[in-house]
Amino acid sequence: MATFAGFGERVVEFYEGLEADNSKAYWTDHKSLYESDVRAPMEALLAQLEPEFGTGSIFRPYRDVRFAKDKSPYKTACAASAPAGYLQVSTEGLFAAGGYYRMESDQLERFRTAVDDARRGTDLQARLAALTDAGMTVAGDRLKTRPRGVDPNHPRLELLRHRSLYAWRKWEPDAQLHEPSCADRVAGTWRRLRPLTQWLDDHVGPPDIRR
């Protein structure tokens, strides 16, 4: 596996072109550019991060359009995930995140039980506050109202409204995107996210596959 030297100089150009012409013809004509400036660097980056953050994998570049109104065949970003978090490169630059982007019903039940508990709930609040203080954005899908049966004056009502919970950081396209130190941005973010991902793993965990 090649050493990660940064994403290719034309990675943003490739996705700008794909956004303008999301067609099989464009993809075929520029596939070699995708392989050299996008996919190969992403593979090298994941390999470099693997000893600390676990084995990562790259998402397929093809969209599932079977039930979508938008029939554009290709994704306009290269995304990957590892046990520690999520990573994406696109025309908007570099994006790194971690947390639970979706929770099944059994996970959501465990999440709300933990948040309702004073000790575990306030612990999560403190971890999220530390992420915010570090310049990260806390996000997630949320109910417009409170969950059924929850006291409207609950001290952690805003957290209880979450149906998913994660935090992220983004960097606009710059010279560092194409340099080896780009890996430091991802590694630093995933390290910073560990308190959140560990809390979720400890108190929520994976979905119950028996359901």
Burial of 71 (0-12, 13-18, 19+ CB in 10 A): exposed
pLDDT in tens, 83-103: 999 999 999 999 999 999 999
Alpha-carbon distance of 141 to 103, in angstroms, equals 10
What are 29-46's pLDDT values in tens digits?
A: 999 999 999 999 999 999
Q: Which residue, 170, 174, 164, is CA-closest to 189?
A: 170
* Coil vs helix vs strand at 88: strand
The band of 179, judged by pLDDT with boundaries at 50, 70 and 90, is very high
pTM: 0.92
End-to-end CA distance of the chain: 39
pLDDT one-digit tens code per residue, 141-171: 999 999 998 999 999 999 999 999 999 999 9
Q: Hey, where are the domains in the chain?
A: 1-91, 97-211
Closest CA to 42 of 12, 7, 91, 17: 7
Residue 81 confidence (pLDDT): 96
Per-residue pLDDT band at 26 (split at 50, 70, 90): very high
